[in-house]
Chain A
Amino acid sequence: MAIAVKLDDLLYARRMTLTELAERVGITIVNLSILKTGKARAIRFSTLEAICAALSCQPGDILEYLPDVAAEAEAA
């Protein structure tokens, strides 16, 4: 997947644990963990909104497009 989730970096910058974020956004820690490890296939706007509100950030701070990975996946 050429979309990287930078939740780890954001949590570190905010000095927040995944459990705390899960409590704030009302999403199970299991689902947040799936998102954090890049295993999620899709993300709801409502989830994105809740995370952005809890971490005071923009969607672009959470997600990043990696063109190199996309090119590799296309070549394979």
Chain B
Amino acid sequence: MPRSYSAALPIAHVVLRILIVLNWLYGLAIIALLVVLPHEQWIMVAFKIPPSPDAARLIMGLRAIAMLGLAAVPLHYIVLKRLLAMVETVRAGDPFVAANAQRLQTIAWALVAQQILSLIIGVIVRVISTPAHPVNIDAGFSVNGWLAVILTFVLARVFAEGALMRDDLEGTV
């Protein structure tokens, strides 16, 4: 086994654990934002937005985006937790198991949900963004994102087939 592989797994393990913690912090930050966002006057002063119908729409849009961002937290958790479990099986030397195929399938569906959230956020950004108050959020349709979804679904099938082959091999004398 190449040396880079032996280093990659512990690094992946640590990075995934850090990302799980950061995801919870990200969720807490969004909750904090949602607590602050009801105070429209405070936001309008902070962003120097004059009172107008556009401003009300902007704040409503930001609230909706924050809510959708909060919905993404459990989705990130699903992906990270399952990836961590998969890394554990690779470290244990037995990654081609049916459980990993199921984990990849779940990750793929979580990625679909994330892409849908991103599409909705992209639409909201288009609606609330005005030349006077441009909203720059990197959301919307992503070729790479949907490609990752397809790749993960395919990988789930590969793992399912691999697990079957592994089972067969185990019963071969």
Q: Which residues of A contact B172 (CB under 8 A)?
A: 40-44
A53 contacts the other chain (Cβ, under 8 Å)? no
Closest to B170 in A: A41
Q: Which residues of A contact B168 (CB under 8 A)?
A: 41-42
A51 to chain B, nearest CB (A): 10
Q: Binary interface profile of A, 38-50, with partner B (CB < 8 Å = 1, else 0)?
A: 0111111001000
Q: How far is the CA of A27 from the CA of B168 in the complex (A)?
A: 18
Q: Which residues of A contact B171 (CB under 8 A)?
A: 34, 39-42
CB contacts between A and B, total, < 8 Å: 22
Q: How far is the CA of A42 from the CA of B165 in the complex (A)?
A: 12
Q: How far is the CA of A43 from the CA of B168 in the complex (A)?
A: 11
Q: Which residues of B contact A58 (CB under 8 A)?
A: none
User: Which one of B168, B171, B172, B173 has the highest number of Cβ atoms from chain A below 10 Å of its Cβ?
Assistant: B173
* Interface magnitude class on chain A: 10 to 19
A18 contacts the other chain (Cβ, under 8 Å)? no
Q: How far is the CA of A16 from the CA of B171 in the complex (A)?
A: 25
Q: Binary interface profile of B, 10-42, with partner A (CB < 8 Å = 1, else 0)?
A: 000000000000000000000000000000000
Q: How far is the CA of A64 from the CA of B171 in the complex (A)?
A: 19
Closest to B172 in A: A42
Closest to A35 in B: B173
B96 to chain A, nearest CB (A): 16
A3 to chain B, nearest CB (A): 13
Please report which residues of chain B, range 141-173, place their CB below 8 angstroms from some CB of chain A when the two chains form the complex.
Answer: 168, 171-173
Closest to A39 in B: B171
User: Which one of A27, A31, A32, A42 has the highest number of Cβ atoms from chain B below 10 Å of its Cβ?
Assistant: A42
A10 to chain B, nearest CB (A): 15
Q: Which residues of B contact A42 (CB under 8 A)?
A: 168, 171-173
Which B positions have Cβ atoms within 8 angstroms of A?
168, 171-173
* 20 new A-B contacts at CB < 8 Å, known A42-B168, A47-B173: A27-B173, A31-B173, A32-B173, A34-B171, A34-B173, A35-B173, A39-B171, A40-B171, A40-B172, A40-B173, A41-B168, A41-B171, A41-B172, A42-B171, A42-B172, A42-B173, A43-B172, A43-B173, A44-B172, A44-B173
